[in-house]
């Protein structure tokens, strides 16, 4: 599993990087088109409370996509030799808010445009993938069970 994610040089597998970069690029383009075409129509029927949640989610979507794109471009820089993994791993070059999407939208989304809800879901999924890859690359978080930790936990229960 981890061998499929990290290349021998310690960078993100180029196939995975290209897939998530294209996903981020496509999502970015689609969201921009959606916002341009639906400036007023998207929220005219929303009440004040729903409008607040809609606006907040718009900000999270755009911020998440921008952070995702930036992260992918940094990893592409590593692949092309423009920067080192050490530089890419510096806090200023990593994701700024890994908890960006940790909270739900905050209200019933059935009143939002269906396309908007889909973009929110896709942005959240993309961002979660990138958070995971970032942690694997720079924090060694494999997400796989650690038998030593499991044994220590069992001993602690005795």
1.10.8.930, 3.20.20.70, 3.50.50.60, 1.20.1440.230: which CATH number matches 2-157?
A: 1.10.8.930
The predicted pLDDT at position 24 comes to: 98
> Which residues does the chain have with pLDDT short of 70?
1, 40-43, 141-158
At residue 8, the pLDDT reads 84
Structure tokens at 24: 């981020």
pTM score, whole prediction: 0.82
Structure tokens at 91: 């806090």
Closest CA to 122 of 27, 2, 13, 53: 27
Count each helix (H run) and each strand (E run) in the chain, helices first. 6, 0
Domain boundaries in the chain? 2-157
Q: Are 85 and 11 in contact (CB under 8 A)?
A: yes
**Contact indicator for 128, 101 with CB cutoff of 8 Å:** yes
Cβ pair 35, 58 in contact under 8 A: yes
């Amino acid at each position: 599993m981890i061998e499929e994610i990290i290349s021998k040089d310690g960078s993100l597998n180029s196939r995975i990087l290209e897939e998530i970069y294209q996903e981020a690029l496509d999502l970015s383009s689609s969201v921009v088109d959606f916002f341009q075409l639906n400036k007023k129509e998207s929220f005219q029927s929303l009440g004040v409370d729903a409008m607040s949640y809609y606006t907040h989610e718009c900000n999270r979507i755009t911020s998440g996509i921008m952070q995702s794109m930036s992260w992918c471009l940094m990893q592409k820089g590593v692949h092309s030799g423009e920067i080192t993994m050490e530089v890419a791993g510096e806090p200023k070059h990593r994701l700024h808010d890994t908890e960006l999407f940790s909270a739900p939208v905050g209200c019933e989304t059935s009143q939002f445009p269906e396309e908007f809800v889909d973009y929110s879901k896709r942005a959240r999924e993309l961002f979660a993938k990138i958070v995971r890859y970032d942690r694997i690359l720079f924090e060694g978080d494999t997400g796989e069970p650690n038998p030593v930790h499991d044994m220590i936990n069992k001993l602690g229960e005795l």
